[in-house]
Amino acid sequence: MPGMPTGRPLRICFLMYHGSMESGGQGIYLAHVTRELARLGHEVHVISGPPYPALDPAVRHHRIATHSFQTMMLDRRRFFQTPHPLAHLAPLNLFEFATTRFTFASLLFTFSLRALARLAEVEREYGAFDLIHDNQTLSYGVLLAQRLRGRAVVATVHHPLDVDVRSGLRALGSARERALRIAWYPWQMQRTVARRLDGLVFPSRASAELTTRLWKLPAGRVHVIHNGVDSERFRPADQPAREDRALLFVGNAQDYNKGVVFALRALALLPADCRARLYLVGGPGGVPHVALNEVARLGIGDRVSLVGRVDSDELAAWYRRAQILLAPSLYEGFGLPAAEAMASGTPVIASDAGALPEVVADGETGVIVPAADPAALAAGIEALLADADRRRRYGSAGRARVLQRFTWRGHAIACDELYRQVLATRGRA
C-alpha cells in the first residue's frame, strides 16, 4: 500500500452524472473515495445528477437537476410538478428529454454542460479547484473544464463501454435492435475525451490494458488503482449459519454481460441429487426478461429464486447466507460482487474474463473457470459444494486478501499520489 500523503491539502471536485447506490458500482465508488479523501484532509466537493449518492457529511454536495426521458418515466408526477414546469421547454432541457429516449450519450453530454456551469458557480463561492476528478462521464463538458477553465482533470474509467455494446449485441436478433444498441452508447465521445485528459484511473490491469488498446490511449497517463471494499459492512457472520447448497448471483439479471444465463445453464447441468438453489440478487428495476426466459427454457423454476434489488445491509446478509458466489461475467472492469463476497468469507467461482482473476485468487480464495462455459461452471460448483473444508479455507483467505489489497483508504492514498504527480507535470509544462 502506498504511504500516507505528504504536502498541502488539495481542493478536489468530483463529477458524476448520477450517483445511484443501488445500480452498478459507480455511486458506491464515488461515496467511498470522496469520504476517504476527506479523511486524508482534502476539501472534497461533488457535482452530481439524480439519483443522488449518499455522501459523507464532510463532502460538499452540489446537485444538478435532469430533464431526461428516464427521469420522467421513473416519477411522472414529480417530473411535471416541479416549481418551474416550463423549464422543461428550455432548449437544452428539451433536447435532453427528446434524445434520451434513444441514446445514453446525450444524458452524459447535457450533464457535463450543466456541470461546467455549476463548476463556475462553486469556484466563485469556494475558490478554484486544484483538480477535477471525473467518474466515467468522459463527456465534452469535462474536456471544456480542462481547456476553458485550465483545471487538471483525472478520470476514473471503470470499463470501456465498447464492451457493453459488444456483449449486448450477442443477445439481440434483429438489425433494428442492434442499431439502437450501438446508438445508445457514447463510446466514441468517451474515447475522444479520455485521450486528452491529464490522467486516467483504472480499477484493474485488465481494464487498463483493454481500454488502452481499444481507445489508443497515450502512454504515461494510464494508472491502475484497485477498487476497495466496505469490509466493515461486508464481513463474515460472528456465528456462521449458511444455507445448505445455496448459490448466489449478484448483478443485473437483465444484463447479458453479467453472465446470468451461464449461471442458470450451469444449474441445469447439476445432477438431480445436488439440490442446489440459485438466488438472483440485484437489478434491474423492471422485469429481468433475460433471466426469466432462460429459466423457463431450461425448466428450472423450482430451483431459482428471483430476489431483485436489496439495500446494502440485506446484500451483506445474502453474502453471509450463501455457500458460494457465482461471478460468470463475460467482462468485469473490477468485479465488486466477487470482492464483497470474499470480504464476507464466501468462496467465489468466477469466470476468467476481465479483472476477475485479479480479484479472485484461483485455488486460494475461489475457483476460476472459462467464461461462457456452463459445463466448467457446473463442475466447479459440484466440486466445491462437496468439500466443506475447502470452502472454509477459501472464505478465510478471501477475507485476508481483501483486507490486504482492496481497501478504500488505500485507493484514496494512491489517488492522492496521482493528483500530485499530475499537478507537478502541469506545473512543469
pLDDT in tens, 184-233: 677 688 999 999 999 999 999 999 999 999 999 998 999 999 999 999 99
Residue 123, pLDDT score: 98
Find, among 199, 157, 139, 163, the residue nearest to 12 by Cα.
199
Burial class (CB in 10 A: 0-12, 13-18, 19+), 309: middle
Q: What are phi and psi of 250, to 5 degrees?
A: -120, 120
Based on the fold, state whether residues 416 and 331 are members of the same structural domain.
no
Is residue 283 located within the same domain as residue 323?
yes
Helix, strand, coil fractions of the chain, as percent rounded to 5: 50, 15, 35
The pLDDT tens digits of the residues spanning 279-336 come to: 999 988 778 999 999 999 999 999 999 999 999 999 999 999 999 999 999 999 999 9
Confidence of residue 34 (pLDDT cuts 50, 70, 90): very high
Sheet with 348-351, strands from edge to edge, namely: 304-308, 277-281, 246-250, 324-327, 348-351, 366-369
* Contact between 327 and 351 (Cβ < 8 Å): yes
Which CATH number belongs to the domain containing residue 99 in this structure? 3.40.50.2000
Has residue 100 been placed in a domain?
yes
358: in domain:
yes
Contacts of 292-300 with CB under 8 Å at 24 or more apart are 294/260, 294/261, 294/264, 294/265, 295/264, 298/264, 298/265, 298/267, 298/268, 299/268, 300/264, 300/267, 300/268
Residue 6 lies in a domain: no
DSSP 8-state assignment for residue 82: S
Residue with cell string 438431480: 272
238 in any annotated domain: no
Question: Quick one: 255 and 127 in the same domain?
Answer: no
Amino acid at 331: Y
**Lowest mean per-residue pLDDT among 72-81, 198-207, 360-369:** 72-81
Same structural domain, 260 and 386? yes
Work out whether the CA dihedral 237, 241, 245, 249 comes out positive or negative: negative
Please state, in angstroms and as integers, the Cα–Cα distance from residue 205 to each residue in 161, 227, 334, following that order. Answer: 17, 12, 9
Segment among 37-51, 83-97, 213-227, 264-278 with least mean pLDDT: 83-97
- Residue 42 — very low, low, confident or very high, per pLDDT cuts 50/70/90? very high
Give the Cα separation of 60 and 191 in Å (integer): 29
Residues 393 and 415 occupy one common structural domain: no
- Residue 73 pLDDT: 81
Over 90: is that where the pLDDT of 55 sits? yes
Q: What percent of the chain has pLDDT over 90?
A: 73
Residues 153/131, Cβ–Cβ less than 8 Å: yes
Average pLDDT value for residue range 150-171: 80
Report the number of distinct structural domains present in the chain.
2
* Residue 168, pLDDT score: 62
308 and 335: one domain? yes
Question: What is the structure's pLDDT at 172?
Answer: 64
User: Please, what is the average pLDDT of the chain?
Assistant: 91
Question: Are 117 and 37 found together in one domain?
Answer: yes
Arithmetic mean of pLDDT, 39-59? 95
pLDDT score of 22 = 67
Note the pLDDT tens digit of each residue in 103-116.
878 889 999 999 99
289 in the same domain as 318: yes
Same domain, residue pair 155 and 86: yes
Of the candidate ranges 3-7, 247-251, 397-401, the one whose mean pLDDT is the lowest:
3-7
pLDDT band at 1 (very low <50, low <70, confident <90, very high): very low
Q: Starting at the edge strand that comes first in sequence, how are the strands of the sheet with 60-63 ordered?
A: 60-63, 43-48, 11-16, 131-135, 152-156, 199-202, 222-224
C-alpha cell of 224?
491502475
Do 221 and 289 sit in the same domain of this protein? no
DSSP-assigned letter for residue 362: B
